[in-house]
Each structure stands twice: as structure tokens, then as C-alpha cells.
Amino acid sequence: MAYLYVCVFLFILTVNKSVSSNCPSRQWIEESLNNSYVPGAAIIVVNATHILYEEAFGYHSLLPPKWIDIERSIFTLASISKTFIATAVMQLVEQELVDLDTDINQYLLEPDHRIFHPNYPTYSITLRKLLSHSSSIAVDENIQLGLYRLGDASFEEATLAEILFKNVNPYTSSWLPKPPGSVSFYSNYGSSLAALVVERMTNVSFDQYVKEKIMKPLQIDITQVGVRLADFTNREDIVKHYAYALNASHLNAWTEGMPELNVTPFSNNFPTWLNIPLFGFSAYPAGLFRMSAQSLSRFLQMFINNGSTVLSSRSIAEMKLVVGNGLIPLYDPDNILSTADIPQTNFGLSWYWQTLSDRHRYICHSGSVPGSRHWMLVNEQHSIGIIFLSNADSNVPNDRSRQLHKSLESIILPLFRCFESEMIK
């Protein structure tokens, strides 16, 4: 893929001497990122007890130029945030405050806002269905995109409960024509509804619960974790969001599709970088937690270490278990997915299993919001985990996501092979 890249965007070439010669070189990774329009990225490889590899590539900010920092650069995690929801829910399960298969209306305690499928009212909506994306909740994508607001304005417009009860109720069209539990359909609002259950059962806002009950036990500095921009004393620590526009149609797609974000080009000539201002949205648990790659690596180590100080090994096993034994099909009425080059996916609780191009299975979660593209994976042996966080965009043009996915696979899979072989020695 051709890539016009002026000298200010070239990456510094350094060598991590601790890495085996069998691992992909820094130079090769940089070339792959350049070819995929990735301004900056942080990559970390961990096992249950140690960081095995950590490298920062490229730019935290293009103008003014600022390098990615593994420890200090704060990324908007996008849908990787959902893994915190399952962790919080399983903590409440361990305390016998909630049950995965009980109707959530017993926990929401809202007689005037009951959640049920309008065509299948006898099919309960449960935490298991919410976390495994099998609740049949399908809020229109245009509604979700229309809720993006610059800065922290979205938090001033509506609470988490208000936005969920408005868009997920039996009097809207936000439902699939299938009974809950019968099909899988990725649902941001379903995940956020599970987070609302945590709020109701603990009387603590979900973001504060995550800080106190998940981050603190992992010895993560909670002043460097948040969802609102106001949570951070220095906003310059937050990684800037970018997209790359090859032509005017790419810019038009942003300005027409998401005018609320006020996306602006660096220059009037194409190709050019687009600046995406920092933003928020009310259904924040599904995709707006912000932290550094190094902080996130402690959370991933907890998962690999069978819960560590946060969860029991039984809860980790429950999260990894494929809901419905792999027999719940993806909702695909038009057979669009049958011809798409996408990995096979089976949902556990927030986490999901994918079979990648090396034919190995990984339990993982990816994340994508405007100007951010991430991936967090653990191998089937549950021994090695990899985090890839970046300020690349995979939304415009439409085929960008698939191209970037292939590029990330070409980086991540060799890293797995490298460190898996090192463990065998």
C-alpha cells in the first residue's frame, strides 16, 4: 500500500536488546504501522507475572510533535472497556449480590422503566445475555453516533441511566426480530446496561467502582484512570486522535456523518491527516475508559493470573466459557458476514474467542472509536497476553478496518510465536 509520509512522521529506529532475534524487529513493525496509517502505538507483551516486551512507536501528538510513552500516554480504550464490565459483574456474583441468569429488572429496581423485548416479553434479559451480546438489544448505529459530544458535554446532557432507559425500552425499535438468547449481535447498550446493574447494586457510579474495586487492588494509579477529560489533571497526557484522508470524500464522510466532532484537516491538500478532537458519550462504560498501556497491562496480567487479587479463578473460567456452547449464531439476516473476511467469533462474558489466520484460538477484545484502534489478546494456553493500543482510525474508508486488522495480525501473531517459544526453552 502506498503511503505518503513526510519526514516529521518518521519513527526513531531503536532496538530492544532483550528481544529474541526470532521476534519481529522494531524496524519491521514500524514499517507495518507506517503502511497502515498508524500515527502512534504502544505494544506490550506479558505473562502472569512479568512484562516480557514493551515498545512505543510514533506519535502521541502530531502537532506539536510528541512521542508515545508506554507509561504516561493515556489512550481512550474504546470497547476494551467492556472487559471491566464483566470483571465488575463477576465480583458481584462472587458476593452473591447478583446472579448471571436472573432478570435484570430485579436489580434495576425501576418499576416505571422495565427492560424487556416488546415481541418476546416472557424472555428475560439477564446479565449473561447482556455480557455475551445475546440479549437482542440493537440500538440503531445512527443514534449511537449522534450521542458523541466534544469534551465532557455528554455527561452534562444525560446520566447513564437516563440514556439507557431512553433508548433501551420496549417502546422503541432498538430490538432484533429474534428472542433474547437465540442470536448474537454486538451491543454497546447491552454492555452498558450490565454496568448500570453494577451501579444500582453498589450505589456507586460505575467509573468510580472500577477505580476502587478493580484498579486499586491492581496497584494502578487511579489518578491516571478515568472516563471524563476532567478526571485528568493534565489533559496533554491523553493521546490525540487522528484519521488519514486520502481524498476529499474521506473528509466529507467525517463532516457529514459525525458533524458533532468537528473533524478538521491539517491542510487543504490531499492526502492529509485529520484531527479528531477529544470527545465523550453518555453510555460510557462500553467504550470510554482511558488509561496507559502499562496500566492496562496490569489488568491483563490479572486475567492471565486467574484473577489475582480481583477475582477468583472460577470467575475467570466463567468469563472464558463460550455462552451457549458455540451454538448461538451471529445475527446475519442478509448473509453479509458469510462472504466477509472476518475471524470466527464466539462470545464469553465480555471477552470473546476468535480463530485467527494462524488457525489458533485467542480470547480477546478489540476496540475502535474515531481515531483509536486497539486489540488485547491472550493465547489459548492462557500463558501470554498482548496489548496493542494506537491512535489510528479504522472507520473511513469502509475497508480500512479489514486492512488494519490484517496488519495488526501480521505484527501480533509473530510476537505470540516468539514469546511462546521463549517459554518452552
- Tens-place pLDDT, residues 3-49: 323 223 332 223 343 445 578 999 999 999 999 999 999 999 999 99
Query: pLDDT averaged over the chain?
Result: 91
Domain membership of residue 339 as a residue range: 73-387
- The answer as to whether 200 is a domain residue is yes
Q: Does the global pTM surpass 0.85?
A: yes
Task: State the residue for C-alpha cell 424472555.
Answer: 123
What's the domain count of the chain?
A: 1
Q: Which helix (H) or strand (E) holds 46?
A: strand 40-46
- For residue 10, the model assigns a pLDDT of 30
- For residue 389, the model assigns a pLDDT of 98
- The answer as to whether 178 is a domain residue is yes
Question: What count of other Cβ atoms lies within 10 Å of the Cβ of residue 417?
Answer: 17
- For residue 142, the model assigns a pLDDT of 86
- The answer as to whether 164 is a domain residue is yes
Burial 373-385 (b: 16+ CB within 10 A, else e): bbbbbbbeebebb
The answer for residues whose C-beta is within 8 angstroms of residue 191's C-beta and 6 or more apart is: 82, 85, 130, 131, 133, 285, 286, 350
- For residue 7, the model assigns a pLDDT of 28
How many Cα atoms occupy the beta-carbon half-sphere of 201 within 13 Å?
Answer: 22
Q: Using an 8 Å Cβ cutoff, are 134 and 184 in contact?
A: yes
DSSP string spanning 297-352?
HHHHHHHHTTTTTTS-HHHHHHHHSPGGGG-SPBP-TT--TTSS---EEEE-SS-E
- For residue 396, the model assigns a pLDDT of 84
The CA angle 382-385-390, to the nearest 5 degrees, is 155
- The answer as to whether 7 is a domain residue is no
What does the DSSP 8-state code read for residue 242? E
Low-confidence ranges of the chain (pLDDT < 50): 1-19, 339
Give me the sign of the Cα torsion angle 124, 130, 132, 138: positive
- For residue 335, the model assigns a pLDDT of 65
Q: Which residues pair with 103 in a beta bridge?
A: 126
Reply yes or no: is the peptide bond before residue 64 cis, omega within 30 of 0: yes
The answer for residues whose C-beta is within 8 angstroms of residue 313's C-beta and 6 or more apart is: 306, 307
CATH code of residue 347? 3.40.710.10
Tell me phi and psi for residue 220, to 5 degrees: -95, 135
d(CA 203, CA 387): 32
- The answer as to whether 32 is a domain residue is no
What does the DSSP 8-state code read for residue 13? -
How many Cα atoms occupy the beta-carbon half-sphere of 350 within 13 Å?
Answer: 31
- The answer as to whether 118 is a domain residue is yes
- The answer as to whether 189 is a domain residue is yes
The answer for residues whose C-beta is within 8 angstroms of residue 47's C-beta and 6 or more apart is: 301, 304, 383, 384, 385, 419, 423
The answer for residues whose C-beta is within 8 angstroms of residue 142's C-beta and 6 or more apart is: none
- The answer as to whether 335 is a domain residue is yes
Structure-block grid coordinates of residue 24: 519481529
Q: Using an 8 Å Cβ cutoff, are 218 and 302 in contact?
A: yes
Tell me phi and psi for residue 388, to 5 degrees: -125, 115
- Tell me how far CA of residue 393 lies from CA of 380, 387, 399, 417, in angstroms: 28, 17, 11, 27
- For residue 313, the model assigns a pLDDT of 98
